[in-house]
Amino acid sequence: MTSTHPANASGDDGGSSAGEWAATGRPPITPGAGLISTDWLPGPCDSTRLPVVVSYTDFHAGSEKDWHRVAELGMKLAESWPIMHGAVGLWVWGKPAEWRGGSLSVWHSGSDLRRFIRWPVHAEIMKNWRGRLRVESARWTDERFVPTAVWRRAEEHMRMPRRMSHCRQGAKD
């Protein structure tokens, strides 16, 4: 998704079909949506299929520089995913033209998601960026984990335009 991880990114310049999911882990990005994403990053509970808790996060930066910084932090957090207790898996996504990005994470339980939110590394990042990003999130439970269905539901939110109105513009150095 960022210049430091180009091999992991898939975008709408060729997209991926639902049929490719099993072989590649690529999300079924709608062509022309302006979205990029990592391939599926499996967690230790990757074989879990039912039920799951899905968490969608969407941040909107005030500058391209901040967007790149936050995207890099997201990719750094993703490096811990293989050992993240209760994590089924994760996509880190971006919409560069709008300085937006976020995560679509799947969890074995709500308590596993809450543990991640309270994880000191994650909490410190959120504290450091508070007031400088507009962050929206959604959470839902799926009785059966179907990766393409989870992506398509979240992509409806990703494709909605966002305005930068609730946070301070510019980077804090």
pLDDT tens series, the chain, 173 aa: 432 233 334 443 334 444 455 557 899 999 999 999 999 999 999 987 789 999 999 999 999 999 999 999 999 999 999 999 999 999 999 999 999 999 999 999 999 999 999 999 999 999 999 999 999 999 999 999 999 999 999 999 999 987 654 444 443 43
| Domain span at 146 | 6-159
> Is residue 58 within 8 Å of 122, Cβ to Cβ?
no
Residue with tokens 């946070």: 167
In whole angstroms, give the CA distance from residue 73 to residue 101: 11
For residue 1, tell me if it sits in a domain. Answer: no
In a domain, 39, yes or no: yes
Give a yes or no: residue 164 inside a domain: no
Helix (H, G, I), strand (E, B), or coil: what is residue 10? strand
Is residue 146 a part of any domain in this protein?
yes
Into how many domains does the chain fold?
Answer: 1
CATH number, domain with residue 31: 3.30.70.100
Residue 120 lies in a domain: yes
Quick one: pLDDT at residue 19?
A: 45
32 lies in a domain? Answer: yes
- Please report whether residue 71 resides in a domain: yes
Q: What is the DSSP string of 57-108?
A: EEEEESSHHHHHHHHHHHHHHHTTGGG-TTEEEEEEEEEGGGTEEEEEEEES
**Residue 54 within a domain:** yes
